[in-house]
Amino acid sequence: MNDRDWEQFKQKLFAKSNIDLNQYKPAQMQRRISNFMARQGVSTYAAFFQLIDSDPKLYKTFIDYLTINVTEFFRTPEKFIELEEKVIPQLLTTSPRLNIWSAGCSTGAEPYSLAMIMAEKTPGVRHRILATDIDVEMLAKAKKGVYTPGDLKNIPQERLTKYFSRIDADYALNDDMRGRVEFQQHNLLLDKFETGFDLILCRNVVIYFTEEAKDALYRRFFAALKPGGIFFVGGTEAILNFRDIGFQHFLPFFYRKPL
């Protein structure tokens, strides 16, 4: 496999999927793709693209693998405690009805975690929770709201009983919680951003992006926030140049747009 093969593969995949591999760290992405190719018994990018282009099921499996759909409720529980006890109360002092965006929501665990928090923090108030992902299959799963016990490992029994019902080995989220989240397909690297958000979460999404792609993305998130809004990132995604972008440090992994 040479550079020309890689360039052609990136072009063909972008035309088919709208996923721009130029925005991802090449060494890490090539390693991930090569591991997947090896399991299919192909050794060139050209042969691999031909394979996924002719097999819709394999193509779907590959896209899921590539977009890293890992999710669980209240992921990194200690950060969600800070979100619930420090960040959201601060935001509610200026906006009684919050506009929240979960970017890269996968199967919906993150925005539904937010829905539970907001329902308990402000009974009777419906906040807007927008949840977006590039993967339409993941969004379909999110809308159904059915999860395995492993997805729910961070949920206390009280919330589990209150918001879920048992369906065989899985758990189904109740209609009220599902109705509090608005799901949309969205490509973070290509599509326009809405503005006027009080809180944006983009956690464990940009791990494989190039530094240039991350910087551009963080600047777009900054612009999408209201003054005083908070940006919440994953536990391995501290923004080292947050001041250059315009953010203030609020808490570890929470960044604030100045008023």
Please state, in angstroms and rounded to a whole number, the distance separating the CA atoms of residues 153 and 212. 35
Average pLDDT over residues 179-186: 97
- Are residues 239 and 247 in contact, defined by beta-carbon separation less than 8 angstroms? yes
Q: Is the pLDDT of residue 244 over 70?
A: yes
Model confidence at 68, pLDDT cuts 50, 70, 90, reads low
State yes or no: pLDDT of 70 exceeds 80: no
Average pLDDT of the segment spanning 178-205: 96
DSSP 87: I
Q: What is the pTM of this model?
A: 0.84
Evaluate if residue 69 carries a pLDDT over 70.
no
* Integer Cα distance of 69 and 14 in angstroms: 19
> What is the β-pairing status of strands 225-233 and 254-256?
antiparallel
pLDDT digit string, tens, across residues 145-179 = 999 998 999 999 999 999 999 999 999 999 999 99
CA–CA dist 122, 120 (Å, integer) = 6
User: For the chain, what percent of residues have pLDDT higher than 90?
Assistant: 82
Per the CB < 8 A criterion, the answer to whether 171 and 146 are in contact is yes
Domains of the chain: 3-66 (no CATH), 77-256 (3.40.50.150)
Name the β-bridge partners of 219.
none
Average pLDDT of the chain? 94
Query: Over 80: is that where the pLDDT of 67 sits?
Result: no
CA distance 6 to 3: 5
Which residue in the block uniquely carries the two structure tokens 């590959």? 62
